[in-house]
């Protein structure tokens, strides 16, 4: 399938910091999760870091389409940043990574969203997020022109916290002739969206991604196979990602289980987002369901083997060669 890909969600500047467990304990809220914080709390946490954090464009859907740009796809993103240095950094870096930033809106008087990823020695990440201008996307800001020449629109689950905007995005994308994929994002998203998810998936979504926790939240028990069948009763293609145990895939009557690709985990930030990028790259190319899953596994392994959500530019020729060699 020819055409560009479009991500829709929250453009967040990722701040990547290596810390010990005591720093995470002092930050409060428990290890391994994500908490929303205000600007003052974010500034306080950053001031206590042992060293300056690395910066990179982030946000779940943005990570996915940035990775697809690395694979050679024309990749756009629709979201809102502030009229500040961080917003300029985000747009410039998104383009430097091969994406097209022309549909990222700039909101005057708002600070660009940031996510501080605290990476402990066990490679786990604990996130503190200040959404800032990322919350400013409104239904009236989404137009049919945004989706011109796009074959696929990838929506992050976090957008479901703003239902009106999520509905407008998916409805407009489908009316423009685009396929729509949805990454459920977190089990919290699933828990708060259970009342709308069945109709939303049935009416607007062609491909849905869930991890094991999200799948369990959807059906009320830890049974990935049952969760896959539930998702496939609502949408044509589904993937349930199981981390180091691989992934369960389904399309129509077809089922596959693909293994994970072994990797030495350094940072799990963005692993699921990159997995989705590999899968969608194969789906757009008309590849088999198994090939799509293996491409996802390759990109997921690449993501965890380095600090940061998406591999850097010099890694992409080697990654593309790995995909070319998949059977």
- Is the dihedral angle over the CA atoms 212, 215, 220, 221 positive or is it negative? negative
**% residues pLDDT > 70 (the chain):** 99
Whose structure tokens read 């145990």? 245
pLDDT score, position 47: 94
**Predicted local distance difference test score (pLDDT) of residue 137:** 96
pLDDT band at residue 151 under the 50/70/90 scheme: very high
C-alpha–C-alpha distance, residues 168 and 84, integer Å: 27
Helix (H, G, I), strand (E, B) or coil at 54: strand
Decide if 16 is inside a domain. Answer: no
Residue 125 lies in a domain: no
- In this prediction, residue 168 carries a pLDDT of 97
Report the domain count for the chain: 1
Would 48 be classed as within a structural domain? no
In a domain, 120, yes or no: no
In this prediction, residues 46-57 reach a mean pLDDT of: 91
On whether residue 144 sits in a domain, the answer given is: yes
Confidence check: pLDDT of 158 > 80: yes
Residues 6+ apart with CB under 8 A from 216: 187, 222, 223, 227
- Strand ranges for 161-200 from DSSP E: 179-183
* Residue ranges making up the domain that contains 244: 4-11+58-111+135-324
Q: Could you tell me the CATH number of the domain that includes residue 236?
A: 3.40.1190.20
Residue 303, in any domain of the structure: yes
Tens digit of pLDDT for each residue in 172-217?
Answer: 999 999 999 999 988 889 999 999 999 999 999 999 999 999 999 9
| pLDDT interval class at 294 (50, 70, 90) | very high
Q: Is 199 exposed, middle or buried (0-12, 13-18, 19+ CB in 10 A)?
A: exposed
- Whether residue 44 lies inside any domain: the answer is no
Q: Is residue 142 part of a domain?
A: yes
First to last CA, the chain: 20
Q: Following DSSP, what letter does each residue of 59-121 receive, concatenated?
A: -HHHHHHHHHHHTT--EEEEEEEESSHHHHHHHHHHHHTT-B-TTEEEETT-PPEEEEEEE-T
Could you tell me the pLDDT band of residue 310, with boundaries at 50, 70 and 90?
confident
Which pLDDT score, from 0 to 100, does residue 292 have? Answer: 98
How confident is the model at residue 125, as a pLDDT?
81
Check residue 242 and give its pLDDT.
Answer: 95
């Amino acid at each position: 399938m020819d055409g560009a890909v479009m991500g829709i969600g929250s453009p967040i500047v990722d701040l990547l910091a290596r810390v010990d467990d005591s720093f995470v304990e002092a930050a409060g809220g428990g290890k391994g999760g994500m908490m929303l914080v205000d600007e003052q709390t974010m500034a306080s946490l950053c001031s206590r870091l042992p060293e300056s954090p690395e910066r990179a464009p982030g946000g779940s859907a943005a990570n996915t389409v940035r990775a697809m740009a690395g694979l050679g796809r024309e990749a756009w993103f629709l979201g809102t940043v502030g009229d500040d240095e961080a917003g300029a950094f985000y747009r410039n870096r998104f383009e430097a990574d091969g994406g097209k930033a022309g549909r990222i809106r700039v909101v005057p008087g708002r600070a660009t969203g940031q996510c501080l990823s605290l990476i402990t020695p066990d490679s786990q990440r604990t996130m503190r997020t200040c959404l800032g201008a990322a919350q400013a996307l409104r239904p009236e800001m989404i137009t049919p022109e945004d989706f011109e020449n796009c074959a696929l629109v990838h929506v992050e689950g976090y957008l479901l916290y703003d239902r009106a905007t999520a509905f407008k995005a998916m409805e407009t994308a489908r009316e423009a002739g685009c396929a729509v994929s949805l990454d459920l994002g977190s089990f919290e998203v699933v828990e708060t969206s259970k009342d709308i998810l069945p109709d939303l998936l049935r009416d607007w979504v062609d491909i849905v991604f869930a991890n094991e926790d999200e799948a369990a939240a959807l059906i009320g028990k830890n049974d990935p196979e049952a969760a896959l069948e539930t998702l496939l009763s609502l949408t044509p293609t589904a993937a349930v990602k199981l981390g180091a145990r691989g992934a369960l895939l389904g399309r129509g009557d077809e089922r596959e289980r693909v293994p994970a690709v072994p990797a030495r985990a350094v940072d799990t930030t963005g692993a699921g987002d990159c997995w989705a990028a590999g899968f969608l790259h194969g789906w757009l190319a008309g590849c088999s369901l198994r090939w799509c899953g293996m491409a996802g596994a390759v990109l997921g392994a690449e993501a965890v083997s380095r600090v940061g959500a998406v591999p850097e530019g010099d890694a992409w020729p080697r990654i593309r060669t790995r995909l070319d060699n998949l059977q």
